[in-house]
Chain A
Amino acid sequence: MSTLRTEEMTLNMGPQHPSTHGVLRFVIKADGEVMREAIPDVGYLHRSIEKIAEKVGYHGFMPYTDRVDYVCAMFTNQGWGMACEKLANIEVPRRGEYCRVIAAEFNRLASHLLTVGLMGMDIGAMTPFLHALREREMINDLIEELCGARLTFNYMRIGGVAWDLPPGWREKALAYLDHLDPIINEFNSLFSYNKICVERLAKVAPISAEDAINYNLVGPNLRASGVNWDVRKNIPYSVYPEFDFEVPLGSGEWGIVGDAMDRYMMRIREMVQSSRILRQALKRMPEGPVLAKVVRNFKPPAGECQIRVESARGDQGWYVVSDGTAFPWRVHVRTGSFAAMGIIQKLSRGLMIADLVVLIASLDVIAPEIDR
């Protein structure tokens, strides 16, 4: 009698696949529904932004930073601005810092809305995704009024921001926040606390705190594993120390600390905190200029520095080497998604194919941030 033989099935997921956010590719070794391993293959959106920085100069690079992470471009703007300011020792006016914080936190709301919506889409519920898009549209309106673009803002400049808030914008923003808070509750009752959603997300791919640190996970993914670390609190930058907000941590109330549900809930809770920061910032707005005097031909002294910004995808590191000329010698962005992709291969062992989708969505990876 011939013996039955089984063999591994190698699946190719992507680069065009509905649940790989952007263009990622996974080579999946599967045994039926259960995966042996999923090997990520990135680079399909490598746009050589770091090389371009060496060609276009400091001011000219600002629009490119938008494209490093198009979902929350304000933070990449801010990171680049802060890195240049640190190199050249420029002080940003206080109103400029407030404008930065307000724009960035609105962008964080928009980014997290997209993340939680995409999570819904990936596990098969289109409605939460479209509701999240509906809310995003209104944030886009506000940001468009602020800086003229919906997605790639180019709002910040080295030494501050390009424009002050338009007249009447503050009231509109506060009104939107009043509108958003119940919407988050609605979103929770539609999707987050849905029995099927909890069953799908809880206990999937937990990451221990040691692993999270060792693999250099950052931001919400790290905090979901219970590590209390937020750049805004721990290495304070901008005017964040003036605001009263909490850093939500993964509690594992639905399963294990650091599972997909914790990572997902982290985004929801951060939206609430962002809304809190925004209310305070909008109310306490000081008067004054928004942009420091920076020469057009910006030449920081030779040197190098690293800046860390708490973006929506976590701690974003900007490493800039200047040689004293008008062009940076080397720019490197260390992004949250890049690190998060590194851990997928380890976590994927023993998961089901449907869980891989959840894992990718819960780590909130964005293709341009990985590839740059």
Chain B
Amino acid sequence: MKDEFEPRIIGFLCNWCSYAGADLAGTSRLQYPPSLLPIRVMCSSRVDPLFVISAFLRGADAVLIAGCHPGDCHYQEGNYYARRRFACVRKVFETLGMESDRLRLSWISASEGPRFANVITEYTEKIKKLGPNPANKKIFL
């Protein structure tokens, strides 16, 4: 039990949709793996690509950005910008042959408690297969 690899996923959750979605998952007592380390931001557009990169280099096994579905952003269009920035940073990872699967963008609304639980469960499984983030042990970062 103890020595089984338990991924650590940094999750930037937008206050209005995804964070509320996570709360709903909780109030509905849905069980999902304790792999998520939620960081509350007001909008997915607050997530500076550098947050993602430094979380990754600090050894996060994965980084999740979750926000309102397109069109539903509490701030009208924030998530569209978030998506562009994410596309950008992910392309950087891909092009450099780094595991871009460790970065994920998901739209989860306040009413999608079950979806939230699924996303975390399913993503955790995926990361388990990938194994720990090598950056964790690197010294010359």
A binds B: no
